[in-house]
Structure 1
Amino acid sequence: MRIYGVIGWQNSGKTTLMERLVADITARGFSVSTVKHVHHDVDLDRPGKDTYRHREAGAREVVLASVKRFAILREHRGPEPDLREVLARLAPVDLVLVEGYKRDAHPKIEVWREGVTDRALIQPGDPLVRAVATDAPLAGLTVPVLDLNEAARVADFILRETGLAG
């Protein structure tokens, strides 16, 4: 599996770009999975529901299965799992797009929009940020600057970087 990240500060447009990349890349015939890192507690279950009760009783993993999809809820007691551990649980695909995990060791595109944050670009300090996707003119970068509004071109860049396209 090839891994490529989409990083940036909060509200920069990461999720919108991810959505567009998944649609574009899957339309080209590639299989894609995504991983989204969040900084808050996640629970897809609701108190009182059967699967919630299974977890509360001590089940390590609970699978919710239906005709259209299934989800595996895994309880872990301890530190947050690192990206490698999360990736190891995925079924094989051509490409895994990772939103977040901005400090992990995989190639990334940084999403940056002027006026959204007062924080500086991450790219100059991280050699694994291979390009910046933005809607603002940026000068002086040593990596390609891509138009944030042209998801197909961003997808082209990622597919070339990962070796999925020439």
Structure 2
Amino acid sequence: MQTIVQIIGQPGSGKTTLVAELVRHFTEKGLCVGTLKHSSHAYELDKPGKDSHLHRQAGACPAAMVNAKMAALYFPASDLTRPEKLIQTYYCHADLVFIEGWISGPYPKIEIWRQRVGKAPLFTHVEKVCALVCDRVPADTGKPCPPIFALDDIPDIAGFIHS
């Protein structure tokens, strides 16, 4: 059965580092792990002026770039490119999928929180936060805190995700 987990947190909290460490941990155990980075900002993913970009500008949908090492497939954002649809289509082989970001998404979430970022934890107002990875236990937030893990406790975090 596939496990899908969102890794959320404020900018600068260490989401990407945590995702990379978890991917490394699980792939070393022989699991197939996929990732999906979600951003609420609109920006160009392709390189303007390159062939694939020019193809898209001319109306190709999808447009792809393939070389000897990897491939990229470009689609305009639509209902078909929502994270859950992409997971259904392209991640069906993965044992685990980590989504970095997408705070409003429907999957269980692990929040990474660092006091130095200077913002309150998200778990107090974001649904489905099932664990907190942090450098310090947050002050009383008025809401019960989910299970807490240290930033460097990758084996225990991994065990919590995939037991």
User: Into which bin does the TM-score normalised by the smaller protein fall?
Assistant: 0.7 to 0.9
Cα distance between partner residues in 2 of 1:97 and 1:41:
21
Question: Structure 1 residues 113, 73: closer, same or farther in 2, change over 3 A?
Answer: same
Tell me the residue number matched to 2:10. 9
Q: What is the CA distance between 1:45 and its match in structure 2?
A: 2.2
Alignment partners' CA distance in 2, 1:72 and 1:3: 22
Q: Is the contact made by 2:19 and 2:98 (CA closer than 8 Å) also made in structure 1?
A: yes
Q: Does 1:56 align with 2:38?
A: no
Deviation, structure 1 residue 98: 0.6
In structure 2, the residue matched to 1:22 is 23
Aligned counterpart in structure 2 of residue 150 of structure 1, from 140, 148, 153: 153
The percent identity for this pair of structures is 34
Unmatched tracts of structure 2, length 5 or more: none
Where do residues 1-166 of structure 1 align in structure 2 (5 Å cutoff)? 1-76=2-77, 81-92=81-92, 93-118=94-119, 120-138=120-138, 141-160=144-163
- 2:112 is matched by which residue type in structure 1? V
- Once the two structures are TM-superposed, the CA of residue 83 in structure 1 deviates from its matched residue by 2.5
Report the CA distance between 1:43 and its aligned residue.
2.8
CA shift at 1:68, angstroms? 1.3
Aligned to 2:40, what secondary structure does the other structure show?
Answer: coil
Whether the 8 Å contact between 2:149 and 2:157 is mirrored in structure 1 is yes
**Cα distance change on mapping 1:115 and 1:126 into 2, 3 Å:** same
Contact 1:135 1:149 (C-alpha < 8 Å) held by counterparts: no
TM (norm. structure 1) is 0.85
**Equivalent-residue separation in structure 1 for 2:65 and 2:38 (angstroms):** 21
Query: How many residues are treated as equivalent by the alignment?
Result: 158
Which consecutive residues of structure 1, in runs of 5 or more, have no partner in the other structure? 161-166
2: distance between equivalents of 1:112 and 1:50? 41
User: How high is the TM-score relative to the length of structure 2?
Assistant: 0.86
The one-letter code sitting in structure 2 at the alignment partner of 1:5 is Q
